Structure 1
Amino acid sequence: MIKTDKNILSNYNFIDLFAGIGGFHLALKSFGANCVFASEWDKFASTTYYENFGIKPLGDITKINESEIPTHDILCGGFPCQAFSISGKQKGFEDTRGTLFFDIARIVNHHKPKVLFLENVKNLVKHENGKTLEIITNILKELDYEVFTKVLNSSNFGLPQNRERLYIIAFHKSIDSSKFSFPSPTNEPICLGKILENQPENAKVIDRDDIEIYKNYTVSSNLFSDIQLLNKPIQIGKVNKGGQGERIYHPLGHAITLSAHGGGVGSKTGLYLINDKIRKLSPRECARVQGFPESFILNSSDTQTYKQFGNSVSVNVLQHILFEIAKVLNANSKNLIQTTKLEYA
């Protein structure tokens, strides 16, 4: 998580849909924004959210009437990727009934927030040959929003995790968003080794006969202090046949994408050669590679914690995007902000 020490969004309220454990909440709060509503159907994630923010998210958003949601300036959330069944006459967002994007659309149609800040898997760009994203974009335009989309990688924004995600930013047409642009990669040199715990007890160690460390791999220890850190995963071995969850990586590179599911002995976090042992990442290390602060309270269940961070968003990336959003909002309110550099914690 990036140190901001800024209140550039202190005059703005936001709602947190598909809230998970609060990655969006952390990012927006770091700029002073105020959460007025949260929704999350998973009871374990909801508990983690409450323990950290003192807000108990309401449940299934499909069962919450839009009129019951408080007025807000920013709507954010990482909604599931779903196909739309479009047939006959185009009916705008009504065509998305049965998908969770419909719930975003109906809330937007009712409240008309200034900004939508959405996150999804990279695959949404190609989902149904691009049709799904095209429908989403067109519906938001019909609802009077200017839409911006881009795939960004967490590895390029100060986090040692290869995580490509699609970000969708939409400004209501009452806002002049002509100068908005997604942040450029900062490419801060960082490696997984810099955020590891010292021999954590809850990081599974793998000890079996079919582990293979490649004899020809070379990784210079000088990379720890070298600006030429690779900022990507470095595979140095495998377990079994080397399928998904069976690849071994070096801590001088980046972690692979955290996942809520997945198979293999290294499922959810990947496997890493650390202090001459092959192990998974610990729950706290998963929090760190997603940009969550040390003060963040983890779920009491390690199983749930792995799932929660696999489903979560990378806070650093959100903060960089929010900084660009804030420029637009503050320019429109004639309260210009200084474009000072964000500082990494």
Structure 2
Amino acid sequence: MNVLDTISTEKYNQAITDTWSVCSLFAGCGGLDLGFCGGFQYKGIEFEKLGYSIRAAYEIDPLAVDTYKRNIGDHIFEQDLTQLNPSDVPKHDVLIGGFPCQDFSSCGPKKGLSSPRGQLYKVFFGVMKEHKPKVVVAENVPNITRMQGGEVIRTILADLESVGYRFQTWVLFAPDYGVPQNRTRVFLVGVREDLPGAPIQPAPTHLLGYRTIDWAISDLEDIDDESIANQSQYFKASRAKRGNGQGDEVSRAGEPSYTVRANAKSRVQFHYKLPRRLTIRECARLQTFPDDFIFPHSATTNIMQIGNAVPPMLSHHVARSVAEYLKTL
């Protein structure tokens, strides 16, 4: 463990004993939720509990619900969130979730707010209006801030603020926070307008040296069975006969990995050393899921769940900043 990892471990080990109730929307397999909960270990680094108690989580995909239940808890409900009645949601202090990003992604159809899926951020609006949580954390892709010259994000923030909140926009580059993967995510962090102050955007911890793909997965090179869960599971697909499209790249040792994408077409990057694509466990490692977080489904389903998730390590940084703020109230 290098000096940077020692510093990070000391910080992550600062358990927070206050308790705040949480509601999670669009929970997926639980990457964001795991980071908020803490209490897990990744690559020998302990991520302590931060004082959050998730009262309820909601997700439409039954397979993601199954993964969540197996790894996090039974407090998740299979729910079409367009049909969610906010009054059925338990009262909570903190509202979190990653509303669907496909129509905001630079790699997607770019429909923005013009599609039904692009309007799903309004589920937050309804729950906020009903329960008035102290803090709201909504996650999405960075392209959402650039669409239509910024008009899309201004519309979303105006809607969310109209029920009595003020928001910040945090654009976080995952390698800055110890995640061994090139990934940028946007967090919309809102505070109820009657409360003083606001959470502070977490300071980067790894600017002096990014963690690399080989740091994350080199110990798996000689393992091709289930002695580590999901390590025998990978796509056998060869490279495309033409061009070098997304997923056909060969990962580079000594650098953070390519973005782990939620791609059901088997376009997962190749290993930096071995003649195969990355395994499901290797992709989970790059997303900073602990090895005891099991993905129980097909390779296609598992990679979709992993790629759609917020890296728990990145989520933990956000959650700690929110917790430090809540302690001041």
Task: Report the residue type matching 1:26 in the other structure.
Answer: L
Give the aligned partner of residue 96 of structure 2.
76
Give the aligned partner of residue 301 of structure 1.
298
Query: Could you tell me how far 1:170 is from its partner in structure 2?
Result: 0.5
Separation in 2, partners of 1:305, 1:160? 19
Task: Report the residue type matching 1:193 in the other structure.
Answer: D
Separation in 2, partners of 1:146, 1:300? 40
Task: Report the residue type matching 2:91 in the other structure.
Answer: T
Task: Report the residue type matching 2:80 in the other structure.
Answer: D
Task: Report the residue type matching 2:319 in the other structure.
Answer: L
Separation in 1, partners of 2:202, 2:127? 27
Query: Under a length normalisation based on structure 2, what TM-score does the superposition of the two structures give?
Result: 0.80
Separation in 1, partners of 2:327, 2:238? 55
Give the aligned partner of residue 72 of structure 2.
53
Identity %: 30
Query: Could you tell me how far 1:7 is from its partner in structure 2?
Result: 4.4
Query: Could you tell me how far 1:184 is from its partner in structure 2?
Result: 2.1
Query: Could you tell me how far 1:61 is from its partner in structure 2?
Result: 1.3
Separation in 2, partners of 1:131, 1:330? 34
Task: Report the residue type matching 1:46 in the other structure.
Answer: V
Query: Could you tell me how far 1:174 is from its partner in structure 2?
Result: 2.4
Give the aligned partner of residue 107 of structure 2.
none
Separation in 1, partners of 2:254, 2:297? 30
Task: Report the residue type matching 2:185 in the other structure.
Answer: R
Q: What pairs with 1:119-198 in structure 2 (closer than 5 Å)?
A: 119-178=139-198, 180-187=199-206, 188-196=209-217, 197-198=220-221
Alpha carbons 1:205, 1:278 under 8 Å: kept = no
Tell me the alpha carbon deviations over residues 20-48 of structure 1, each in whole angstroms, 9 at most, x when there is no partner: 01112211111131111111111111110
Tell me the alpha carbon deviations over residues 128-154 of structure 1, each in whole angstroms, 9 at most, x when there is no partner: 321111011112222221211021111
Tell me the alpha carbon deviations over residues 181-240 of structure 1, each in whole angstroms, 9 at most, x when there is no partner: 2112212531111222134332346667x9xxxxxxxxxxxxxxxxxxxxxxxxxxxx74
Unaligned runs of 5+ in 2: 39-49, 104-111, 225-231
Task: Report the residue type matching 2:263 in the other structure.
Answer: H
Alpha carbons 1:15, 1:76 under 8 Å: kept = yes
Give the 3 Å change call, closer, same or farther, for CA 262–301 of structure 1 in structure 2: closer
Tell me the alpha carbon deviations over residues 255-279 of structure 1, each in whole angstroms, 9 at most, x when there is no partner: 111111276xx61x312331xx332
Give the aligned partner of residue 248 of structure 1.
250
Task: Report the residue type matching 1:72 in the other structure.
Answer: H
Query: Could you tell me how far 1:283 is from its partner in structure 2?
Result: 0.8
Q: Which runs of 4+ in 1 moved over 6 A?
A: none
Give the aligned partner of residue 214 of structure 1.
none
Give the 3 Å change call, closer, same or farther, for CA 156–302 of structure 1 in structure 2: same
Q: What pairs with 1:223-262 in structure 2 (closer than 5 Å)?
A: 240-261=242-263
Q: What pairs with 1:91-130 in structure 2 (closer than 5 Å)?
A: 99-130=119-150
Separation in 1, partners of 2:245, 2:306? 22
Task: Report the residue type matching 1:39 in the other structure.
Answer: Y
Query: Could you tell me how far 1:10 is from its partner in structure 2?
Result: 4.0
Query: Under a length normalisation based on structure 1, what TM-score does the superposition of the two structures give?
Result: 0.76
Tell me the alpha carbon deviations over residues 106-149 of structure 1, each in whole angstroms, 9 at most, x when there is no partner: 11011000011111011101123211110111122222212110
Q: Does 1:326 align with 2:328?
A: no
Alpha carbons 2:182, 2:257 under 8 Å: kept = yes
Give the aligned partner of residue 37 of structure 1.
56
Alpha carbons 2:28, 2:59 under 8 Å: kept = yes
Query: Could you tell me how far 1:158 is from its partner in structure 2?
Result: 0.9
Alpha carbons 2:234, 2:299 under 8 Å: kept = no
Q: How many residues align?
A: 288
Task: Report the residue type matching 2:120 in the other structure.
Answer: L
298-307 vs 97-106, which deviates more?
97-106
Q: Find the residue that maps to 2:136 and give its secondary structure.
A: strand
Give the 3 Å change call, closer, same or farther, for CA 45–207 of structure 1 in structure 2: closer
68-77 vs 3-12, which deviates more?
3-12
Task: Report the residue type matching 2:234 in the other structure.
Answer: A
Give the aligned partner of residue 217 of structure 1.
none
Q: Does 1:271 align with 2:270?
A: yes
